[in-house]
Amino acid sequence: MYEKSKELLNRAEKVLASGVSSEFRKYNHPHALFYTHGSGSRIYDVDGNEYLDFTLSQGPLILGHSHPEVLRKVEEYSREGQLYAGQHIREIELAEKLNKLIPSAELMRFCLDGSEAVQTAFRVARAKTGRQKFLRFEGHYHGWLDNVAYGISTPGIEALGSREQPNVFPWTAGLPESSREDFIVLPWNDLALVEQTVKRYHEEIAAIITEPIMCNNGCILPNEGFLEGLRALCDRFGIALILDEVITGFRVGLGGAQQYFGVTPDLSIFAKAMGSGYPISAIVGKREWMELIAEGKVIHAGTMNSGNPTVAAALATIEVLEQENPYERMYRLGRRLMDGLREAAVDTKQDLVTQGLGPMFVTYFGKKRQCNDYRDTLGNDKAKLSRFIAGLHDRGIRVIGRGLWYVSAAHTEKDVDKAIQTAADVLKELPI
Ligand code: PLP
């Protein structure tokens, strides 16, 4: 059922390194696939297979594929011009929107993706505090650039070492040795440990960066008081609190996780769902931090930033989200899906667990009924998960390989019921 994709992959491998343009695309089932089009909650491949898509291109397609209003606005603004090496009124409109919606977005800059916006945040934090390091957490992903390309995978729980001084493994060859000096790493959701570490090293720490919900390994909510505790520690020691909202932004609500949890960061990053698949991201923050960019002390640049098509996509996406307010539905459908999968697991005696909020959640196989940090996730049965995801895929349900499901405004109750029924069929075939 994947023959044409295989042929194209063979052809692609001759000119594209491993046939793809992003590392993660290699890990599709059963190999990198080639798609022809997407519409609403569906995506289609070159072999004519239709998939009910819970991948949503790794998160961005919050309105589903090819939303007509996004396409209309992108076309309209693109006809006027593409990129001016200068300003246009639409980027003010977009910034005003973010300013209104996101609690910490007093001042901002637009970029192209999450990775570079994260690095901009580090630069601002270093410049303002005069300190060099950032504190990050095991299992979180902050892009693929040098100083965050660590800890993406791990040889196993023993290899991680102590909780107080974890080992962290480079993801790639070619990293400058100095990049390991940029950060301190700790397990997540352990405020006492963060406090102990910050008290000891605060003179070196410019920023604490965290995903507000850990979505890159599991889909783990912060313990009660954890984000608030980070906020208090940052205030006490003059450290920047950076919320990496690349996944949570516009997904958990219009004001991001910072509004959902009521914790206001100094700096935060928005990307994925902000632009419906067009390359736009934002570094937003409190004036006292972002004014370093305004004053020109911290440089942020980019030839391609805030072109007409990307700003149009972001404006259209956010306007549709504001007008249609699909969040209540997305939560409801996501929870219905989680509940249905749980019931199917009970019926088939499978140790399948679902964890998350609804608009995004994770499925895993394991003994733990809930994971609380990255170390917990390492005990899960990855081989069984791969078989589950592959079984779903072969039956037309597309889910991210690590078990993450994204629900969009385009998904329907029928879609959800179909996914549950299909999952039940797959679960029956898995070993218990
Ligand atoms: N931060 C988080 C939380 C992410 O999930 C990602 C990407 O998945 C990034 C940063 C990097 O964003 P991008 O892939 O747009 O560079």
24 and 37 within one domain: yes
337 and 303 within one domain: no
Residue from 213, 272, 278, 400 to probe ligand 1 pocket by mutation (most atoms less than 8 Å from CB) = 272
Closest ligand 1 atom to 281 CA: 15
Between the CA of 140 and the centroid of ligand 1 the distance, in Å, is 10
Q: Give the pair of three-digit tokens for residue 410.
A: 């385009």
Q: Are 150 and 169 in contact (CB under 8 A)?
A: yes
Q: What is the complex's ipTM, to 2 decimals?
A: 0.99
- Span 374-383, pLDDT tens digits: 999 999 999 9
Residue 114 region, left (φ>0) first, then alpha (ψ -120 to 50), else beta? alpha
- Over range 338-344, report the average pLDDT: 98
254 and 163 within one domain: yes
- Span 249-259, pLDDT tens digits: 999 999 999 99
335 and 304 within one domain: no
The active-site residue, picked from 128, 133, 272, 286, is 272
For residue 59, the domain's CATH number is 3.90.1150.10
78 and 54 within one domain: no
Cα torsion 214, 336, 322, 267 to 10°: value is -10
Distance CA 46, CA 169 (A): 37
Q: Give the pair of three-digit tokens for residue 15.
A: 């000119």
Residue 153 confidence class, pLDDT cut points 50, 70, 90: confident
The residue from 324, 358, 390 where one domain ends is 324
- Span 276-294, pLDDT tens digits: 999 999 999 999 999 999 9
- Span 362-403, pLDDT tens digits: 999 999 999 999 999 999 999 999 999 999 999 999 999 999
Is residue 305 predicted with pLDDT exceeding 90?
A: yes
Three-state DSSP class for residue 224: coil
- Output the pLDDT for position 105: 98
The active-site residue, picked from 190, 244, 266, 373, is 244
146 and 29 within one domain: no
Q: CA angle 371-328-44, nearest 5°?
A: 80
Q: Quick check: bond before 30 cis, omega within 30?
A: yes
Is residue 125 predicted with pLDDT exceeding 90?
A: yes
143 and 285 within one domain: yes
Distance CA 356, CA 339 (A): 11
Is residue 128 predicted with pLDDT exceeding 90?
A: yes
- Output the pLDDT for position 70: 98
Q: Which residues pair with 107 in a beta bridge?
A: 285
- Output the pLDDT for position 284: 98
75 and 32 within one domain: no
- Span 2-19, pLDDT tens digits: 999 999 999 999 999 999
Cα torsion 142, 56, 306, 317 to 10°: value is -130
| Domain count across the chain | 2
- Span 184-208, pLDDT tens digits: 999 999 999 999 999 999 999 999 9
Domain that holds residue 246: 68-324
The residue from 300, 324, 348 where one domain ends is 324
Q: Give the pair of three-digit tokens for residue 214.
A: 């850990």
Ligand 1 pocket member 111 (CB < 6 A): no
210 and 305 within one domain: yes
For residue 142, the domain's CATH number is 3.40.640.10
Is residue 295 predicted with pLDDT exceeding 90?
A: yes
Read out DSSP for 237-284? HT-EEEEE-TTTTTTS-TTHHHHHHT---SEEEE-GGGTTTSS-EEEE
Residue from 141, 258, 267, 278 to probe ligand 1 pocket by mutation (most atoms less than 8 Å from CB) = 141
What percent of the chain lies above the pLDDT cut of 70?
Answer: 100
Q: What pTM did the predictor assign? A: 0.98
- Output the pLDDT for position 286: 98
180 and 314 within one domain: yes
79 and 36 within one domain: no
The residue from 324, 352, 381 where one domain ends is 324
- Output the pLDDT for position 155: 86
255 and 217 within one domain: yes
